[in-house]
Chain A
Amino acid sequence: MRTITRFLRTCITCALFVPGLANAAQSTLDVPCGRDGALTFGFLPLVSTEKLVQRFAPLVHHLSAELGTPIRIETAADFETFIRRTNNDKRYDLLFTAPHLFYLARKKAGYHLLVSVDSRGMSAVIVVPKNSQIETIKDLAGLKLATVDPLSLATLLVRKQLEDNGLDPDADLNLVTTPSHNASLLSSYYGATDASSLMMPPFKVANPGVRESMKIISVTESTPHMPISAAPWIDPECRDAMVAVLLAMPSTPAGREALKTAGFRGFVKSLPDIYDSLIWAAERIDTE
């Protein structure tokens, strides 16, 4: 009986999704996707919780409405907790995390890649005030550089960038950890540190007054953009439906509005293997 039911569901899903993802996204599912009737969507604490909710709530609402399933936003107090909840506690049904953390999640907890943010890639930048005498990354020797969480991709990219430029991040300069990208940016803006490191996207959407008074002295290598993945216990049918909804977002006014609030152009379907390039970063934080 269950086999027949699953077959019928698959047929319905195919009938809905195969002809066109956009059309398929207009319908809701007949089966519950969440374990308790609701999905938990874990977001990496990129920014403060309030800003995080503010930024991604429209996206979650859109997805929830399209799927017909309640979705709850969750995050964690810090990267370490988030990683533990993702990989060990298996707390999140959906996951929006950094590329290198997705690599770990996929490897350790079996998360399935749904979509990636439609972008050419992500880089971290090192910025200093425009009136600063610092011109190159090598000038940072002996100075204070603000970073975000040590486990963040930005910090890992910057550390790698420093090492590639002959600087030992733990010996040649003083890394000052701040709670967020914005905090890192403001720390050099207000003179608490000599320079700031953060990801390029947060820098681009920072306060214009602050952003325009800063200059970029170094850009790290580019990485694949942020992925959205699903836990292995999520029904494939649900995963397909989610993919359809996410990919179709630019085609609906509500979807476009949610994307605009999130700061994304859209999502693209990509292969999970592209995140294997971040194995070096994953290995650095994988303490287990």
Chain B
Amino acid sequence: MTQGKFSFFQSLRFRLIAGVVTIEVVMLSLLVWSNIRIIHTTHADRLQDTASSLLEQIADTSGSYMVAVDYASLQDYLNKVVNHKELSYVVVLDRDENPVVSLGNTPAQPWPRVDSHPSAVDDAVFNASRAIQVSGEPMGKMLAGFSLAQMESAIHKARFRGIVIAVSEIFLTVVATVLIGLHLTRRLGVLADAAESVGAGDYSVVVPTETADEVGKTATAFNRMVGEVSSRTGLLEQEEGKSRRLLAENRQLVHASLDVQEEERKHLARELHDELGQCITAIQADAELIRDISAGRDERVEASAGAILDVSSRIYDGVHSMMARLRPGILDDLGLVAALKDDISAWMQRNPDTSCLLHATGQLDNLGERINITIYRIVQECLTNITRHAGASKVTIDLAGEIDRLLLKIEDDGRGLPATMPAGGLGLIGMRERVESLGGEFSLDAREGKGLSIMISVPLTGEEAQA
């Protein structure tokens, strides 16, 4: 049995490499994603802290300017201190929410909604706010916008670096895994090739054991196993050859036995016909003569002669029946089909509840004695079996003579064969042997309760008539 060629994708090499690479890709992707999240969170928190501390510082200082309504000084102060590069705008509102100082790209009113966190921003500017108080007294409010461009740029750079590192690592991992995988699986491949050769019957294969690792140990064990298998297979083949020869001899004996049996039957039938038949005929002739002479003279003699006639007639019928079973003369005289019809007719008389139809088609003359007697005996055996076991109501026999073969099919609607029953009793085995002795094929289709069907095919070579 051969495994057949498997695709590269089924190989251990591919699966090993694909598995490692997949795990690596998944883990690195998770790592990169996690790092990007951390970077994003860190930058966002940093920006919020920066905004918070910057606004706190400015608001604390601005309070004095606000309470003094010194907006010019406040603007000067803010111009000096507000130089943070992420700062987009600063607006100082008085207690009436009126803008008193504006720096940078001040948004149009209404003032943008204050963002809770840079990560919650949806317009690229983190808008923050802080109340301006002096000793707890509200003096106004400060609005500031922090551009996320720098943060996004930093995140983008970090993301790019992370992806580059991950891709590089994946590439190196793939290369390393491929090299290591090839190195590891090369010896497994040698082992697999050797196993395939052994499977194909080549026991001369020897796997090199290069190392003492698992693969090396496997190779050693494989070599030992191959040696053992080779030895046992040799012995098995020898025994199988013997068995095959014995079987062939046995079959020859069986076939010879069948031939001898038929020959003996034929001889016995001839002897019965020639010897016993002549004697009975003579007895009947004498008995008729005695009956005729004694008629009206001696009733006792006449009665005895009549009895002799009856007994001899029954003996004759019995002998005739034995002769017919041993060797149907009609087979030799009128051929296979007539013999089968005669036999079927006699069988139907004995089994009036079962109909039996014979369909004979094709060239059925000159089939030769061996084929004729074989087919006749098989039909005879089948009918006997049907009588004994089938309980059938209908039997169909199809006999077809084709150009190169003879087909016989016998079907009945009886009980069939139980599932637990062996493929055939001695009768079936005898049929099979008879067919196989002619080089034919015998098959059986039997299911319990579904009747029985026997199919026979016998090759015709055109020289059967000479056999």
Tell whether A and B belong to one assembly. yes
Chain A positions within 8 Å of B, measured between CB atoms, are 36, 45, 48-50, 52-54, 57, 72-77, 81, 85, 91
**Residue from the list A74, A85, A91 in contact with B67, Cβ < 8 A:** A74
CA distance A52 to B137 in the complex (A): 11
Is B136 interfacial (CB 8 A cutoff)?
yes
**Residue from the list B65, B67, B73, B96 in contact with A53, Cβ < 8 A:** B67
Nearest residue (CB) in B for A57 is B137
Taking A57-B135, A57-B137 as contacts, is the C-beta distance between A50 and B69 under 8 angstroms? no
Residue contact A49 to B64, C-beta cutoff 8 Å: yes
- Min Cβ gap B167→A in Å is 58
Residue contact B135 to A77, C-beta cutoff 8 Å: no
Residue contact B70 to A50, C-beta cutoff 8 Å: no
Residue contact A50 to B95, C-beta cutoff 8 Å: no
Residue contact B63 to A50, C-beta cutoff 8 Å: yes
Residue contact B64 to A81, C-beta cutoff 8 Å: no
> What's the count of A-B pairs with C-beta under 8 Å?
42
Nearest residue (CB) in B for A42 is B69
Interface string of B65-84 (1 = CB under 8 A from A): 10111100100000000000
- Please name all residues of chain B whose beta carbon is closer than 8 Å to the beta carbon of A53 when the two chains form the complex: 67, 134-135, 137
- Min Cβ gap B118→A in Å is 32
- Please name all residues of chain A whose beta carbon is closer than 8 Å to the beta carbon of B69 when the two chains form the complex: 74-76, 85, 91
- Min Cβ gap B56→A in Å is 15
Nearest residue (CB) in B for A85 is B69
Residue contact A48 to B64, C-beta cutoff 8 Å: yes
- Please name all residues of chain A whose beta carbon is closer than 8 Å to the beta carbon of B96 when the two chains form the complex: 36
- Min Cβ gap A95→B in Å is 14
CA distance A52 to B64 in the complex (A): 10
- Please name all residues of chain A whose beta carbon is closer than 8 Å to the beta carbon of B95 when the two chains form the complex: 72
CA distance A195 to B95 in the complex (A): 41
Residue contact B70 to A73, C-beta cutoff 8 Å: no
Q: List 26 A-B contacts (CB under 8 A).
A: A36-B96, A45-B68, A48-B64, A49-B63, A49-B68, A49-B134, A50-B63, A50-B134, A50-B135, A53-B67, A53-B134, A53-B137, A54-B135, A57-B135, A57-B136, A57-B137, A72-B95, A73-B67, A73-B137, A74-B67, A74-B69, A76-B70, A77-B70, A77-B73, A81-B70, A85-B69
CA distance A85 to B64 in the complex (A): 17
State which residues 65-118 of B face A: CB under 8 Å. 65, 67-70, 73, 95-96
Chain B positions within 8 Å of A, measured between CB atoms, are 63-65, 67-70, 73, 95-96, 134-137
Residue contact A75 to B137, C-beta cutoff 8 Å: no
- Please name all residues of chain B whose beta carbon is closer than 8 Å to the beta carbon of A50 when the two chains form the complex: 63-64, 134-135
CA distance A266 to B404 in the complex (A): 144
- Please name all residues of chain B whose beta carbon is closer than 8 Å to the beta carbon of A85 when the two chains form the complex: 69
- Please name all residues of chain A whose beta carbon is closer than 8 Å to the beta carbon of B134 when the two chains form the complex: 49-50, 53-54
- Min Cβ gap B333→A in Å is 145
CA distance A222 to B137 in the complex (A): 34
- Min Cβ gap B387→A in Å is 128
CA distance A62 to B70 in the complex (A): 26
Residue contact B67 to A75, C-beta cutoff 8 Å: yes
CA distance A76 to B64 in the complex (A): 9
CA distance A81 to B134 in the complex (A): 20
Residue contact B68 to A77, C-beta cutoff 8 Å: yes
- Min Cβ gap B213→A in Å is 81
**Residue from the list A36, A54, A74 in contact with B68, Cβ < 8 A:** A74
- Please name all residues of chain A whose beta carbon is closer than 8 Å to the beta carbon of B135 when the two chains form the complex: 50, 53-54, 57
CA distance A81 to B96 in the complex (A): 22
- Please name all residues of chain A whose beta carbon is closer than 8 Å to the beta carbon of B65 when the two chains form the complex: 77
- Please name all residues of chain A whose beta carbon is closer than 8 Å to the beta carbon of B67 when the two chains form the complex: 49, 52-53, 73-75
- Min Cβ gap A80→B in Å is 12
- Please name all residues of chain B whose beta carbon is closer than 8 Å to the beta carbon of A74 when the two chains form the complex: 67-69
- Min Cβ gap A123→B in Å is 27
- Min Cβ gap B64→A in Å is 4
Nearest residue (CB) in B for A60 is B137
- Please name all residues of chain A whose beta carbon is closer than 8 Å to the beta carbon of B68 when the two chains form the complex: 45, 49, 74-77, 81
Given contact pairs A50-B135, A54-B135, A77-B68, a sample of 19 additional A-B residue pairs in the complex whose CB atoms are under 8 Å apart? A49-B134, A50-B63, A50-B134, A52-B67, A53-B67, A53-B137, A57-B136, A57-B137, A72-B95, A73-B67, A73-B137, A74-B67, A74-B68, A75-B68, A75-B69, A76-B68, A76-B70, A77-B73, A81-B70
CA distance A45 to B69 in the complex (A): 12
CA distance A50 to B133 in the complex (A): 10
Among all A-B residue pairs, the 6 with the closest Cβ atoms:
A49-B64, A54-B135, A77-B70, A53-B134, A53-B135, A77-B68
- Please name all residues of chain B whose beta carbon is closer than 8 Å to the beta carbon of A54 when the two chains form the complex: 134-135
CA distance A76 to B70 in the complex (A): 7
CA distance A81 to B65 in the complex (A): 13
CA distance A85 to B67 in the complex (A): 14
CA distance A50 to B96 in the complex (A): 21
Nearest residue (CB) in B for A52 is B67
CA distance A72 to B64 in the complex (A): 14
- Min Cβ gap A172→B in Å is 34
CA distance A54 to B135 in the complex (A): 6
CA distance A36 to B68 in the complex (A): 19
CA distance A192 to B435 in the complex (A): 141
CA distance A49 to B132 in the complex (A): 13
- Min Cβ gap A100→B in Å is 21
CA distance A73 to B134 in the complex (A): 10
CA distance A49 to B96 in the complex (A): 20
- Please name all residues of chain B whose beta carbon is closer than 8 Å to the beta carbon of A52 when the two chains form the complex: 67
Nearest residue (CB) in A for B70 is A77
Nearest residue (CB) in B for A48 is B64
CA distance A223 to B218 in the complex (A): 115
CA distance A52 to B68 in the complex (A): 10
Nearest residue (CB) in A for B72 is A77
Nearest residue (CB) in B for A77 is B70
- Please name all residues of chain A whose beta carbon is closer than 8 Å to the beta carbon of B63 when the two chains form the complex: 49-50
- Min Cβ gap A59→B in Å is 12
Nearest residue (CB) in A for B95 is A72
Residue from B73, B95, B96, B137 whose CB has the most chain A CB atoms within 10 Å: B137
